A and B are shown apart, each in its own frame.
Chain A
Amino acid sequence: QVQLQQSGTELVKPASSVKISCKASGYSFTSNYMHWIRQQTGNGLEWIGWIYPGNGNTKYNEKFDGKATLTADKSSSTGYMQLSSLTSEDSAVYFCARSPNGYVMDDWGQGVSVTVSS
């Protein structure tokens, strides 16, 4: 079955960067899109962007341009999202999700909590 196993909780300092991971199994990693989604406490879901591991193509929500960088390692079937220049506004739960078509998220990871605090 499809599984998306995300890395653990992060507590990071303002102005720093963090890289979180999403290890995929149970499907063809290179033939599906991997989305990343943000959920701030008390808020809804925001789409950050996707990466297509087969060719490394990415598409971002303009709101996250310069904030998020998506990469993928085909050898380990793992997607990564790096968040830079962190502020308290970046404190949130971040999800990865699998999509066969780049639009609908068929399967989700369990989410990673990122807290930005000094």
Chain B
Amino acid sequence: DVQMTQSPSYLAASPGESVSISCKASKSINTYLAWYQEKPGITNKLLIYSGSTLPSGTPSRFSGSGSGTDFTLTIRSLEPEDFAVYYCQQHNEYPLTFGSGTKLEIK
């Protein structure tokens, strides 16, 4: 199975700042990486797929980059609603696997 390693596990930032979250795969997954947002009381949201593609509804302050084994989620100019847990997921092969999550907290 492809192991997905996210870092950091916790990240504190202030509204208006920019942050980056890393996701590393144990082998090449081409560009097949998705990012999800988890918030209490709201269903999980798909933010990015195929490494850098934003589905409709994802604000443009979110961006994804990377290929092969190294990927990054960047959030520019944090809004209050962005403080949440973020997961990466490889969608290159089965079984689909997720990172362990990054909790983004307000500083």
Contact in complex: A61, B95 (CB < 8 Å): yes
Q: Which B residues are CB-close (under 8 A) to A43?
A: 100
* B43 contacts A45, C-beta separation under 8 Å: no
Contact (Cβ within 8 A) B46 A105 = yes
Binary contact readout B29-65 vs A (1 if CB under 8 angstroms, 0 otherwise)? 0001010100000011110011000010000000000
Say whether A46 faces chain B, with CB atoms less than 8 Å apart.
Answer: yes
Cα distance, A35 to B36, chains bound together (Å): 15
Is the CB–CB distance between B55 and A106 below 8 Å? yes
Task: Give Cα distance in the complex from A104 to B87, angstroms.
Answer: 13
Stretch touching chain B among A9-17, A23-31, A66-74, A107-115 = A107-115
Given the complex, which residues of A lie within 8 Å of B71, measured CB to CB? none
Q: Say whether B95 contacts A62, CB under 8 Å.
A: yes
Chain B residues whose CB sits within 8 angstroms of the CB of A95 once the complex forms: 44
Bound-state Cα–Cα, A97 to B87, Å:
15
Least CB distance from A21 to B in Å reads 16
Please report the C-alpha to C-alpha distance between residue A86 and residue B78 in the assembled complex, in whole angstroms: 42
Q: Would you call A45 and B98 a contact (CB within 8 A)?
A: yes
The interface residues of chain B lying within 8 Å CB-to-CB of A109 are: 43
- A97: chain B residues at CB < 8 Å are 44
Closest 6 CB pairs of A and B: A103-B91, A61-B95, A45-B98, A108-B44, A47-B96, A44-B100
